[in-house]
Amino acid sequence: MFAPLFLFSQDFIYNSPAAEDSWGIISVIETPYHYLITNSDYNLTKDSVFCKLSKVSKKGQWISDEYFVYSAISRSEFFTKINNIDYLTILALEKDPSINQFVEINLETKNIQIFPLNQHIDITANDILIVGDTAYIFAYYDTKNQMPRLLKIDRRNGVVQYSRILKAAPSDIKFALNNQNVLVKGGHDIDVFNFNLDTIIKSYLNPFYGSIVGDIKPLPHKNYYINSGGQNQDVNNFDHLDTIDLGLCILDSNLNVIKNIVFGRKGDTVDIPARTQSIADTEGGFYFGGTSNFKIWEYPYGFEHSWFMIIKTDSALNLNWKKEFGGDAYYFMTGIMGTSDGGCLAYGTKQDTARGNFNRDAFMIKLDKDGLISFIKTIKPGFKKDLIVYPNPASEYVSIKGINDLNNYRIVIFNESGVEQISISSQYFLNNNVLKLKDWQSGTYIISMYNENGVLIASEKLIVNNK
């Protein structure tokens, strides 16, 4: 029999040899004009850890950053949608480490609700489930019993409820929701809970569910599930973790495997599904994403080249195309999403493979529906720097002062939707103290400063009131 593999996703944040590092891009949502992106950056020398909410144009231009810090460390940030309203949800931790509180931010109103958890628990999962509009469910590790449990937060009254110990003992936990139950996937196991989490209705065990977790997606109108996971090339040796392929299963309504598909690279590599989201819908089919040549015993850092693996299929899971990107660094995919143009956006981290280099950068790649690259972005860990913008609100003019140590920079001003309004070089501000706003429409704008390499250095909101 196989042996369960435990990789605790939070460990490296506290024990990492990196002075500055990025957890990578965790979650992405698309608006009509831009993408919103979350990731955690931290600097151990400055004792600074935070959730960074970034806005990126459809062409891949970094527009602005906004920072959130709760407790000592903010970590595991997901976009969620409740009643058609987008929220940013944050699991905030202390440094021991343990979850301290659960934070919900309404992205429209910026109202903040905090749910204290008041218990020493260690997070093990990179997934979150919304049940209707009333509750969040996520997984944690019960340190007393050395087993995973589920935690449910009622948004209406803040009541926190804990499940019984899961039978599955996974390296991570993924969730799904059918019409009647909560499905919890961990490695080769799937536990089916009732909504109250007080009863495991049934547990399933099948090696083809995958060795390194992966998502499970119910398709009620077709009465089956799509399951992603690492598939062992040697089905008779489940302890052998050096040759694992990225694979898919089609499961019937009773979670029996009726078809198995393998997309991994040839040879002795570990190919795994993307960490937070590995299955994405698109018109007429699906996208699947993962990491090829994942270094399982060096997690979270790797010192060999790896690749983003991106697969597009039709609705019957017939292959349309498969693409690999990377090979010049160690790439680790955290997620993939379908985009409104029929393409996809894959995201995660990129790390130099030189020994001793433990610094990772956030990374994202946008493909069109044919698998051609629209843009690639590598984002260094960044820390908030302020622009001096006054008066603010403004009407006829505004004065903008930038970072003192920058001689060659560019100011780009976007409207609130992320559409570029004007681009100004540093030379302009040497000759002009102010920017005239007399003909500008009233509204909220974003002023972004880029260095000579096009890297976003600082951003600030400007309110124009020309009534």
Residues 408-421 pLDDT 10s: 788 888 887 778 88
Indicate the pLDDT class of residue 26, thresholds 50, 70 and 90.
Answer: confident
In order, the DSSP letters of 121-148 are -B---S--EEETTTEEEEEEEETTTTEE
What is the distance between the alpha carbons of residues 249 and 135, in angstroms, rounded to a whole number? Answer: 29
pLDDT of residue 8: 38
Q: Is pLDDT at 104 greater than 80 in this prediction?
A: yes
Domains plus CATH for the chain? Answer: 11-379 (2.130.10.10), 388-464 (2.60.40.10)
Q: What is the residue-averaged pLDDT of the chain?
A: 79
Rounded to 5°, angle at Cα 69 from 64 and 73: 125
At position 65, the amino acid (one-letter code) is D
Q: Is pLDDT at 256 greater than 60 in this prediction?
A: yes
User: Average pLDDT of 68-79?
Assistant: 66
User: Average pLDDT of 373-384?
Assistant: 80
Range of weakest confidence among 45-49, 57-61, 67-71, 110-114: 45-49
User: Average pLDDT of 279-292?
Assistant: 93
Indicate the pLDDT class of residue 324, thresholds 50, 70 and 90.
Answer: very high
Q: Phi/psi of residue 401, each to 5°?
A: -120, 140
Indicate the pLDDT class of residue 275, thresholds 50, 70 and 90.
Answer: confident
| Tens digits of residue pLDDT in 221-238 | 788 999 888 766 544 444
pLDDT of residue 382: 62
Paired tokens of 262: 């393998």
Q: Is pLDDT at 79 greater than 70 in this prediction?
A: yes
| Tens digits of residue pLDDT in 341-353 | 999 999 999 998 8
Residue 110 contacts by C-beta under 8 Å, 6 or more apart in sequence? none
| Percent of the chain whose pLDDT exceeds 70 | 79
- Output the CA torsion 108→114→119→124 (10° steps): 10
Range of weakest confidence among 141-145, 279-283, 294-298: 141-145
Is the model more confident about 130 or about 125? 130
